[in-house]
Chain A
């Protein structure tokens, strides 16, 4: 009970932030009812997806300061679990999603134990390595369709199928995901002020001091890594039902992992709103840049060049992201 109350406790946030957040939530609630294009709606769904990925990453990467560049493997585990269970045994989304989380979290414990003996660059590269190993395995594993991937045929079901999450129109997906999005925020809000959240922030600051305060550093990291994994896996499962065609390359590639980290970093790693701000800037930008520039003949990759320049600018000029600018500005105003 207390945990539930704490999840809704935003009392440490400035009133201005909460007002803006409330207004935006209201806007997101009615967004699909406005006369918007299908493209805008699809972009918004991507925004939710990457916000949630970013929130997951933010637990271990932002609050914990562990640069995890291998989150895509858990997108893959979630997506493949849901797809395989649906295609082979007709197990609907709401059952396959928890199973996917269970598998993903189990895997995260197995590799998390050795992973968190490393730190810094070594840790970051090792997370990439584990993710690529899993991707390579999936690319030759016939059971999951190898490199061709899997396809969920919508013809086999009668949309709207709420149990299997098979819909014809994006608006259904939008609202399901919007609910996940709100739950994700509440959970993150609970997490950051929970015992584990506090321990993690102490670890990020100084591991020796954290140990002297009775914190089992290794175990706290592994637990948080599992939480981050849970987020990513749930959305991975959703992704399978939404996209309906998954393959190792677009669920588990390094680019996805980096994109996930980037959401949180652009918005502000280790802050509540950071990943949402990051996704809110990057996803529409990416999607519209691709639409405008990617289509033009001879300009292939132009969108990604601009994208790369943005990444480089953030890392050079404001590594604490947009939220870092806001915080600095506020602190200056206060003093």
Chain B
């Protein structure tokens, strides 16, 4: 029972962080129908920003969030202005391979600058502390804080999109780009803004994740695929959809925990032999495939 409960809690908490990871991707997709393969690389830069800033400035990694957001915002706009705008009107294959090229570029620049070894946060207010939540559930403080701050950031972006003039213009562009253009909203500006906000939200997520997840230049692809799955599940372009979908995907990453629970409960010998932890992320890909085939618009999709 404890395994089950702690798996659920861990899954949901991680899901909250993943919601912030996927948010940028879904905003960008909603505004301009482009899939960004470099999304996970943005996250990786967020992780490095938090890690290095905290080491250099000697502050807790959690205090570096504004810096990470700034880096992500600038990186997003730079990528859009410098590259994405040129492939936007091209055929889809060029877009896919183009953002893949961007991913390779960002990844290998990181390799050149930071080296290939794993780095982790060792010092911080919350590192190695944990909370006892009752029922034997123990949650590392870093994960709890990351989840909480992710939700705060997610809601902040959500409010930004729905309560401010700028955000409303962005949403209008997503729903009807031509109409928005007639209203005097510059598509070019809105696209750049979407990349800025998208970049900022995912680097912040990276800065939160680095507190409990070591970083290396290759960490991005996994998160890119996770974000794709969430966005597909939530419906491409849907922000609230992304949040709930992220919780589902968070639970999917805890399938090994559920498996253990079933194994101990049912006491079937063969179940012990399945190396379920090795399949931890495979279920995400399986989920993507099944979701897309069964429900191409996602569970909460509002835009085709």
Known contacts A125-B35, A300-B111, A305-B105; A265/B228 CB under 8 A: no
CB of B116 within 8 Å of the partner chain: yes
Let me know if A121 and B96 touch, CB within 8 A. yes
CB of B272 within 8 Å of the partner chain: no
Residue of B nearest to A266 (CB): B97
Contact with B along A268-308 (1 / 0, CB 8 A): 01000000000000000000000000000011111011011
Query: Given the complex, which residues of A lie within 8 Å of B102, measured CB to CB?
Result: 308, 312
Let me know if B282 and A132 touch, CB within 8 A. yes
Contact with A along B93-112 (1 / 0, CB 8 A): 11111101111110111011
Contact with A along B274-304 (1 / 0, CB 8 A): 0100110110011011001100100000000
- Choose among B97, B105, B228 the residue that contacts A125 (Cβ–Cβ < 8 A): B228
- Tell me the complex Cα distance, A245–B71, Å: 42
Query: Given the complex, which residues of B lie within 8 Å of A137, measured CB to CB?
Result: 279, 282
Query: Given the complex, which residues of B lie within 8 Å of A140, measured CB to CB?
Result: 275, 278-279
Known contacts A114-B289, A302-B112; A315/B90 CB under 8 A: yes
CB of A61 within 8 Å of the partner chain: yes
CB of B87 within 8 Å of the partner chain: yes
- Interface of A, helix, strand, loop or mixed by DSSP: helix
In the complex, 8 of the A-B residue pairs with CB atoms within 8 angstroms, ordered by the A residue number, are A124-B96, A125-B232, A126-B293, A128-B285, A130-B289, A132-B282, A301-B109, A319-B93
Let me know if A311 and B286 touch, CB within 8 A. no
Within A110-145, which residues are at the interface with B (CB < 8 Å)?
Answer: 114-115, 117-118, 120-122, 124-126, 128-130, 132-133, 136-137, 139-140
Contact with B along A318-335 (1 / 0, CB 8 A): 010000000000000000
Whole-angstrom distance between the Cβ of A254 and the nearest chain B Cβ:
7
Let me know if B97 and A265 touch, CB within 8 A. yes
CB of A309 within 8 Å of the partner chain: yes
- 5 closest A-B pairs by beta carbon, nearest first, are A311-B101, A315-B98, A319-B94, A308-B104, A301-B108
Query: Given the complex, which residues of A lie within 8 Å of B33, measured CB to CB?
Result: 121
- Tell me the complex Cα distance, A114–B87, Å: 29
Whole-angstrom distance between the Cβ of B115 and the nearest chain A Cβ:
8
Given A122-B296, A136-B282, A315-B94, 20 further pairs, Cβ under 8 A? A65-B93, A124-B96, A125-B228, A125-B292, A126-B293, A132-B285, A133-B286, A136-B278, A137-B282, A140-B278, A254-B221, A269-B93, A301-B108, A304-B111, A305-B109, A309-B101, A311-B101, A312-B83, A316-B94, A319-B87
Let me know if B292 and A118 touch, CB within 8 A. yes
- Tell me the complex Cα distance, A308–B37, Å: 13
Residue of A nearest to B286 (CB): A133
- Tell me the complex Cα distance, A309–B109, Å: 11
- Tell me the complex Cα distance, A298–B114, Å: 10
CB of A261 within 8 Å of the partner chain: yes
Known contacts A136-B279, A304-B104; A315/B97 CB under 8 A: yes
CB of B52 within 8 Å of the partner chain: no
Contact with A along B63-106 (1 / 0, CB 8 A): 00000000000000000000100110011111111101111110
Query: Given the complex, which residues of B lie within 8 Å of A126, measured CB to CB?
Result: 288-289, 292-293
CB of A67 within 8 Å of the partner chain: yes
CB of B151 within 8 Å of the partner chain: no
- Tell me the complex Cα distance, A298–B113, Å: 9
Let me know if A258 and B292 touch, CB within 8 A. no
Chain B residues within CB distance 8 Å of chain A: 33, 35, 83, 86-87, 90-98, 100-105, 107-109, 111-112, 115-116, 217, 221, 225, 228-229, 232, 275, 278-279, 281-282, 285-286, 288-289, 292-293, 296
Whole-angstrom distance between the Cβ of B271 and the nearest chain A Cβ:
15
CB of A69 within 8 Å of the partner chain: yes
Query: Given the complex, which residues of B lie within 8 Å of A319, measured CB to CB?
Result: 87, 90-91, 93-94
CB of A101 within 8 Å of the partner chain: no
Let me know if B92 and A121 touch, CB within 8 A. yes
Query: Given the complex, which residues of A lie within 8 Å of B90, measured CB to CB?
Result: 315-316, 319
Residue of B nearest to A317 (CB): B86
Let me know if A262 and B97 touch, CB within 8 A. yes
Whole-angstrom distance between the Cβ of B194 and the nearest chain A Cβ:
16
Query: Given the complex, which residues of B lie within 8 Å of A130, measured CB to CB?
Result: 285, 289
- Tell me the complex Cα distance, A294–B103, Å: 19
- Tell me the complex Cα distance, A308–B100, Å: 8
- Tell me the complex Cα distance, A130–B293, Å: 12
| Residue among A117, A124, A269 facing the most chain B CB atoms (10 A cut-off) | A124
Let me know if B105 and A129 touch, CB within 8 A. no
Residue of B nearest to A299 (CB): B112
Query: Given the complex, which residues of A lie within 8 Å of B111, measured CB to CB?
Result: 300-301, 304
- Tell me the complex Cα distance, A269–B93, Å: 10
- Tell me the complex Cα distance, A299–B113, Å: 9
Whole-angstrom distance between the Cβ of A258 and the nearest chain B Cβ:
6
- Choose among A61, A122, A132, A301 the residue that contacts B292 (Cβ–Cβ < 8 A): A122
Residue of A nearest to B105 (CB): A308
Residue of B nearest to A133 (CB): B285
| Residue among B33, B83, B98, B115 facing the most chain A CB atoms (10 A cut-off) | B98
Residue of B nearest to A311 (CB): B101
Whole-angstrom distance between the Cβ of A18 and the nearest chain B Cβ:
28
- Choose among A61, A308, A315 the residue that contacts B87 (Cβ–Cβ < 8 A): A315
Query: Given the complex, which residues of A lie within 8 Å of B115, measured CB to CB?
Result: 300
- Tell me the complex Cα distance, A92–B57, Å: 62
- Tell me the complex Cα distance, A265–B90, Å: 13
- Tell me the complex Cα distance, A238–B289, Å: 30
Query: Given the complex, which residues of A lie within 8 Å of B35, measured CB to CB?
Result: 121, 124-125
Query: Given the complex, which residues of A lie within 8 Å of B107, measured CB to CB?
Result: 301, 304
Residue of A nearest to B279 (CB): A136
- Tell me the complex Cα distance, A128–B286, Å: 11
